[in-house]
Amino acid sequence: MICEVWHEPEQRWLLVDPDRKMVDFSPEQFEFSGDVWLRYKDDKLNPSSYGVPEWWGAHPILSVLCHDLASVLGNEHVYWEQPPVTSDSSMEVKNIPSAQVIVLNEVAVLLREPDSGFDELRRLYLMKYRSEITIRASRRFCYKHTSKPPILSSKPPTRSSSGLLR
């Protein structure tokens, strides 16, 4: 898990990897989920290079994008809590309906600059696509859309990103 932490004295975000004890490293050392998703959709990467042991390919790419959206909005989840859009392992990510792909692409672009796109990210999360990308835990790893929206702050103090270090 990579986090962005606000550094008040310098008035900027710092990348932090608590697991590797890295602080303030270059974004070039890290692949952000939105960029990976867009390269995947443009057939510019090998999806089998992305994931974790026993879970590689397009599903983790899409799942991490949804996780990052939730994290930026202050609703962080653990990795095994998957969004409904990736919960069917037999579903081909390339076959997601075009309306969903348009929204996912928009999320990917907005995640490049989450401060300036925060309100739009929140709108997409709450209104347009919540039932598919909202992550909810359950004992059996089944996820259900609820009518109550999650409580979100106007701006979270930290941002998390769950992509991969290069």
pLDDT in tens, 112-134: 988 899 999 988 887 755 555 55
> Reduced to 3 states, what is the DSSP secondary structure of residue 47?
helix
**% of residues, the chain, pLDDT over 70:** 75
**Whole-angstrom Cα Rg for the chain:** 15
In this predicted structure, the answer to whether residue 166 has a pLDDT above a threshold of 80 is no
> In the beta sheet, which residues pair with residue 23?
16
CB neighbour class for 161 (10 Å; exposed up to 12, middle 13-18, buried from 19): buried
Cβ contacts of 30 within 8 Å, gap of 6 or more: 2, 15, 161, 163, 164, 165, 166
In this predicted structure, the answer to whether residue 95 has a pLDDT above a threshold of 50 is yes
pTM reported for the whole predicted model: 0.72
